Amino acid sequence: MRTLTVAGPDISAAWLAACGAMRGTPPVAYHTVVRIHDPLSDDPAIRAAVDRILAAHGLQPVVTVANTIFPTAIAQTSSDHLELSRRYAAILLTLQRLSPNKNDRGTYFGRLVQFPGAKGPVNQLDTIITRLRKECAKKGSGTGPMAACYEAGFTDPGAESTDGPMESCVTAAAPVRVPGRDNRFPGFPCLSHCSFQLDRDGTLHAMAHYRSQLMVERGYGNYVGLGRLLGYVAGQAGLRCGELTVTAGYARLDYRRDVYPLLGQVSAAVA
């Protein structure tokens, strides 16, 4: 089984490093780990090259893929995350009608602001930001904010914890898959889980897990969207944006012959 762990200073370098590590036959890897030190930055030239590959094959551009995870334009014109959530929920059905082949089961950001919980829609984005703000307010109280705890995204995120001290943990989990409902393969959602970790120095990091990932069709756009989501959550909670780690159970380098000419520009180190 081929596995890979790569790291890069920005999205472009980390993505190129991951693609480079997957060269060969077959161009696949399992249990992939990609660490991006600055997930708010990428190389415009590399993104433009990826967009040309996507356009040549009739695929969605990077920004469209990124917007399914975080809608930057709406966020920039919303006063806070609550207004962003309301506005996005109001147009979600329209987005599904406009792109039935891609969004018929919803979008990733839709699952963040309207997760179909057992007791109705759950705004996980609000839960995460509110919890982070609450934990950060503990500074100087003698207890301090919790840094992390272990979780699995199988339960309704709207359910109250009954595990005593664990309910104060600051790791805020955002499951995407709905057990018993999301059984179609392949297809939405490939992103299974997203969690945030609070560093004691006031920096927020994030980890996202995919059951499978196509590195060209979706990978670059996924990294951009996740980075923007992390930056937004950090900003709303009054924190600095930290590192993004993306794992995948299975990854495939699709359209690899188009990508090979870019691989000489790898600047990230393969761990």
Task: Going residue by residue through the chain, which has 271 residues, state the pLDDT in tens, using 9 for 90 and above.
Answer: 899 999 999 999 999 999 999 998 899 999 999 999 999 999 999 999 999 999 999 999 999 999 999 999 999 999 999 999 999 999 887 876 666 555 556 788 988 898 877 788 888 899 899 888 888 887 665 566 655 432 223 234 444 433 333 233 334 555 555 544 444 444 546 888 889 999 988 999 999 999 899 999 999 999 999 999 999 999 999 999 999 999 999 999 999 999 999 987 654 444 4
Q: How many CB atoms lie within 10 A of CB 162?
A: 7
The pLDDT of residue 175 is: 52
Distance of CA 23 to the CA centre of its chain: 24
Residues in the chain: 271
Whole-number pLDDT of residue 121: 85
The answer to whether residues 176 and 191 touch, using CB atoms and an 8 Å cutoff, is yes
Q: Please tell me whether residue 213 adopts helix, strand or coil conformation.
A: strand
Per-residue pLDDT at 167:
33
Name the nearest CA neighbour of 60 among 217, 172, 215, 222.
217
Tokens of 82: 């609550």
Please indicate, yes or no, whether the overall pTM of this predicted structure exceeds 0.75.
yes
Q: State in words which class domain 3-158+166-270 has.
A: alpha beta
Q: What pLDDT is attached to residue 101?
A: 57
| Burial of 140 per CB tally in 10 Å (0-12, 13-18, 19+) | exposed
